[in-house]
Structure 1
Amino acid sequence: MSLTRRSLFIALFIALLAIVGQWSPADIQSLWRYPAALLLFGLLLEGLRTRSNPLPVRRTLDEQLALGEPQPLHIEIHNPSTRPIAIRTQARYPDTLHGNESPEQWTIPAGELSTRTTMVTPLNLGSTGAGDLYTRVLGHLRLAWWSRKVTSSTLSRVVPRTLSRSEHAAGLLLSGERYTPSRFSSGDNLLALRDYRAGDPIKSIDWKATAKRGQPTVRVYAREQSLDVLLVIDAGRSSRLQAGRLTRLNHYINIAARLAQLACAHGDQIGLLGFSGQRLERAPLGHGARALQHVRNGLGQLQSRPDDFNPIAAALEVQKLLRQRSLVVFLCEMEQREAAEQLAKACTLLAPKHLAIVASLVDTDIKNLQQRECTDWLDPYRRFAAHEFTRSQQSTALHLHRLGTEVVLGTEDELDQRVIRRYQHLRSRQRV
């Protein structure tokens, strides 16, 4: 309970009346007790009425939330009384959610339902609630604000992100020009028919379609190509570092989940290997929705471990799992010198048979530090340290590229799309 200005003014009046009564005749000395009793009675009446008729407050969150993606949280407050009600609310979210926790002021007309929507961002996989909502309702006599805590009993499940419909469609978009046939119908799938163009091979002409249409028509084939894609996730202690609102591991999980969905839609085999100093999670290579679900389940079980990621041990494990040439995607750190050397050796082990992609996050804070204006005598040293850190990462990337490894670097907002584009590029060029 918090007193309003009206109650404070009444209390001040009672205090002044009591002070005046000390120097007044005896019949006036106890006069202050009557307004004091009225104030206490009014507060008691307000409290009983507010407690006996709590406002219906409902908070709804989707049953399934995407990790790191803002989600709507709906707050509904119904006023069943015959008078307008003033209410203040403040949310307190659990550690698994990030959202605006500033106080809000509501004025709800009599007999109406008021709804507001705020955005919250899931920070960890697993189950999460909507947290607590602290409310303060102004009493009908406007003497006090009455506090109440509203706890959400429903739980939502946080899962890795998925491709949007537009991204999924764009990833599967096949263009006849892109697949202009240098090969003919030896095992390829017929994609479409189009008009003859200068330079098209005579063998690609569909004479039956040409006769029906009355103009030269050629066949366009899409070569059936199935890849084996293995995702190797760094779950060592460096994966606990924050990169924006999420940890590195959670960013890697989102990237792996979306890449696996795209590869599955292309008909590729997908698998998962979670690694720190030893193997943590494993999903064997497979096709279709079942394999995708196994990968997503494995990603949901991944947690950062206190030991360092061992790329060499991971590469040896990869060699045991893969029997034919495959695409191996490492999602790991490459800033530390020792880790970079091990990563280079791991890529060397895989290079004769497999094609590796190494994807790593670029720290946004360090990137911004290089461009920040110096205002303190220590700022030049901080900028120099940031430049050295970035130079070390770029040097490692160049070394891996010389070994034949595809390297993808990007901030937490860029890396996801860059990895997907690199996969699509390699697939379209049939590099694997």
Structure 2
Amino acid sequence: MGKLSVAVLGLCAAWSAWAQEGPADFASQVPLSISGNGPWYRLELPLDVQLNARQADLSDVRVFNAAGEPQAYALSRQSSQRTESRNVTDVKWFPLYAADTRQALPGVVMKTTREGTLVEIKPGTAAKAGTQVLRGWVLDASAIKAPLQQLSLDWSRERDGFQRFSIEASDDLQHWQSWGDGQVARLSFADERVEQHDVNLPGQSARYLRLVWQGQAAPLLTSAKLVSATSSSLPMPLVWSQPLAGTRLKAGEYSWQLPTGLSIERLRIELNQPNTLAPVTLAGRRDSKQAWQPLSNGLLYRLTQDGRDVVQDELQLPGQTVSELKLAVDERGGGLGVDAPALRFAVRATQLVFLARGEPPFTLALGNASAKAANLALSTLIPDYSTERLTTLGQARIAGEVAVTAPAVSIAADAGTNWKKLGLWAVLLLGVAALGAMAYSLLRKPPAAG
């Protein structure tokens, strides 16, 4: 009976050790290298590594040291939705002229008041009357103090079609920084009008914007609005996936299965055929048991204009978690073809910060559907945390390939079932039964002869 007691105690100890998380409890492990000043290190999680997680919010991410001990860590996965306020402001606009649409934009003389309001723009070089062409516009955003998120334009009804222009920003009207290209459109389609007025901006502050039309005269503006937003901190950049193949459900309807549940903020549909025009509606859901929920709609196109392709292939999403996507196409525009187009998705970059304890090498582990969230707030992990302090932390990097293995503990399909807890209860009940058997055996043993 003594051997049985020892066996029961050993089994209880084994189950208790199993209840402590270790690298083997996670399906994927990847080695890390560290450099710079510790003891805190920050790691930019690549998207292909994140896709090995079993939980959309990365609750199953852990960092272990060489002894297999878990490290305290925090996740910074801030979304652009965490804005404190969002404002739409009507702004003034001022014309820019040149001799023709091929001439480089001439120098301009610009005047401002003491309050910073733009008063006047004059051509810096003289030109004959009646020979100048409207090349673009300068927008006065000096009254807006928050970062600029979006530009919305409207223009005279005489100018249908696409309007493509470069965007530059300045604080002093002398030195200009490129903010990329913008494109708006007003089209007639199947007895309907399809209009696109909004252009995304990089979320930076500027007092003035300069819009210069490319290879064509600028239209007369009737409205110019800027959307600005203040937030507690700037959002992390977007990271894009590799192309994802889809399935054609029926004519004009396609679906894609994502690797896992993801908070997607932008989609890019590959438009391989020239002269494609497709009004679309996008829906999503977390699993096949749920009904489809509308996510976005818009106009996708790839059209040839002035000898080059003009492409709009992206859709903006609200950032909610989905694992399946469905695209419905209005085929009056010609559709997207028989085969489902490839799709790329973008999510916010994720940064992991951990406090190094014990000896390296350190290992990043993920892939456990039943693991509970263990991350701390950054202000808890780093007592004197600040945004500036974050940039001075040591660097951690992925140092090898992701090793995918079967976890030592089988992961239940139903994440709500805690098999470790059930196992421990079973061991305890087994121990109680063993002790009861020992007591019963002692009671039935005849007393020793005197």
What is the TM-score when the length of structure 1 is the normalising length?
0.23
Q: Comparing both structures, which one devotes a greater share of its residues to strand?
A: 2
Higher relative contact order (Cα pairs below 8 Å, separated by 6+ residues): 2
Q: TM-score, normalised by structure 2?
A: 0.22
Larger Rg: 1 or 2?
Answer: 1
Structure having the larger proportion of residues in helix = 1
